[in-house]
Amino acid sequence: MKTATNLFPMNISQPQEPGALTFTLLRMLSDGEFHSGEVLAQQLGISRASVSNALRGVEKLGLKLFSVRGRGYCLSRPPQWLDAKRICDHMGERGKNFQIEILDIAASSNTLLMQRAKFDAVNGGASGGTILAVEWQRDGRGRLGRTWHSGLGNALTFSLLWRFDCGLSALSGLSLAAGVALIRALRVFGIESAQLKWPNDVLGGEGKLAGLLIEAQGDMLGPSAVVIGIGLNLFLQQELLRRIDQPVTSLSAMLGDSSTIPERNHLLAVILLELDDVLNEFAAHGFAALRAEWQRYHGMQDQPVDMRFPDGSKVTGIVRGVAENGALELEMMQGIRNFNVGEVSLRRVENAVA
């Protein structure tokens, strides 16, 4: 008589910060098969205890790792790993416009790339088109000081450095322009229902699908350097959802089947190509050239909304579009009033009559 084998998650007491060995082992487990801890240890020339310690606490990365006595370790849903060469191959000749680096772990790709962008006496700063993509961010940052939560392989989290000849004062509307690029990329894969939310979110249904964080340095008259950070949810585990304090969604939820999510390297390549097009258009003509397209994608167009400010005050009006500098145009009792990005939050007014 066959005896059933019980699968059980690894003991995750005293979780360790994942290191290089953890990621090496996770890549070895990426085929979804069971691998003996003893064999893994022999292949790497380390002890079985080292294997066990390195894999302890990987649930922190959003993964589920099973250990079966006599069989070893198995990842129930192995991540798709990013690969710079595969990304460039998807971009063809235009891949030479980018310098792609993939990190297993980092606090924040935006913070790191902003540091590399600075000019100093030793180097000229990272070149435009530099990309840092991170498999797992410890402290991903969003707008208004929020934390961007993601697990290993369940999102795209990356930052792109772009250099402009113009000064900071000419970059108004840039976050909106980057949003247009994201929508274009999603539509390449047949994802038509994604919408934009002023100033820098992408929505799917009633939840946040992606967010952008724009940071810039330079002079008012130029030149300037901008780091565009993007986080895009591919799928979300329940453990991760419990840590997020706002409605969110993912490509998996929108498509209804995680198997239909675009492959991560291909998806990132298409997003970069669309960013390349949009940022060049923005450099030549400003946001005004993209304004009409942005408004077509805006999920709150002609909807009643609350505009909330850091001091707790708010105003209510109907969204009538955006100005050529990216400011939100809100119809109020006193007429149309423009609001710049700043530290404000925009929310739809439920059950209101427009």
pLDDT value of position 342: 64
DSSP E strand boundaries for 34-185: 65-68, 72-75, 99-106, 130-137, 140-141, 147-148, 155-164
Question: Options 3.40.50.1000, 3.10.200.10, 3.40.50.10160, 2.30.30.100; which CATH number does 300-348 get?
Answer: 2.30.30.100
Query: Above 60 in pLDDT, residue 15?
Result: no
Tokens of 125: 């700063």
Residue 298 DSSP one-character state: B
Q: What are phi and psi of 70, to 5 degrees?
A: 90, -10
CA dist., res. 272 & res. 354, Å (int):
37
Q: Per CATH, the architecture of 8-75 is what? A: Orthogonal Bundle (1.10)
pTM of the prediction? Answer: 0.88
DSSP E strand boundaries for 140-289: 140-141, 147-148, 155-164, 195-197, 201-204, 207-218, 224-233
CA dist., res. 329 & res. 303, Å (int):
12
**Confidence bin at 239 (pLDDT 50/70/90):** low
297-316 per-position pLDDT tens digit: 999 999 999 988 888 888 89
Q: With beta carbons less than 8 A apart as the criterion, state whether 176 and 198 touch.
A: yes
- Tell me whether the omega of the peptide bond preceding residue 247 falls within 30 degrees of 0, making it cis: no
In terms of CATH, what superfamily is 84-296? Bira Bifunctional Protein; Domain 2 (3.30.930.10)
Q: Is the dihedral of CA 172, 304, 193, 197 positive or negative?
A: positive
Q: Which residues have a Cβ under 8 Å from the Cβ of 69 and sit 6 or more positions away?
A: none
Please state the rounded mean pLDDT for residues 19-33: 94
Query: Above 90 in pLDDT, residue 201?
Result: yes
Query: Above 60 in pLDDT, residue 34?
Result: yes
Is residue 251 helix, strand or coil? helix
pLDDT value of position 237: 66
Q: What is the CA radius of gyration of the chain?
A: 22
Residue type, 17: E
CA dist., res. 91 & res. 2, Å (int):
51
DSSP E strand boundaries for 219-303: 224-233
The CA dihedral of 123, 127, 133, 137, to the nearest 10 degrees, is 40
Bridge partners (DSSP) of residue 137 are: 106
More confident residue, 269 or 238: 269
- Residue corresponding to tokens 């380390």: 46
Query: Above 50 in pLDDT, residue 354?
Result: no
Query: Above 60 in pLDDT, residue 14?
Result: no
Tokens of 220: 């008012």
**Confidence bin at 82 (pLDDT 50/70/90):** very high
Q: Which residues have a Cβ under 8 Å from the Cβ of 97 and sit 6 or more positions away?
A: 129, 276
Query: Above 50 in pLDDT, residue 206?
Result: yes
Tokens of 64: 């589920």
245-280 per-position pLDDT tens digit: 568 898 988 988 777 889 999 999 999 999 999 999
103-158 per-position pLDDT tens digit: 999 888 999 999 999 876 566 789 999 999 999 887 655 544 555 557 788 899 99
**Confidence bin at 9 (pLDDT 50/70/90):** very low
Q: With beta carbons less than 8 A apart as the criterion, state whether 203 and 196 touch.
A: yes
Is residue 304 helix, strand or coil? strand
Would you kindly state where each structural domain of the chain is located, as residue ranges? 8-75, 84-296, 300-348
Give the residue from 99, 100, 116 showing the smallest Cα distance to 108.
116
- The rounded mean pLDDT for the chain is 86
Residue 123 DSSP one-character state: -
pLDDT value of position 114: 93
Q: Where are the alpha helices (DSSP H) in 75-138?
A: 84-91, 109-117
Give the residue from 115, 348, 169 showing the smallest Cα distance to 247.
348
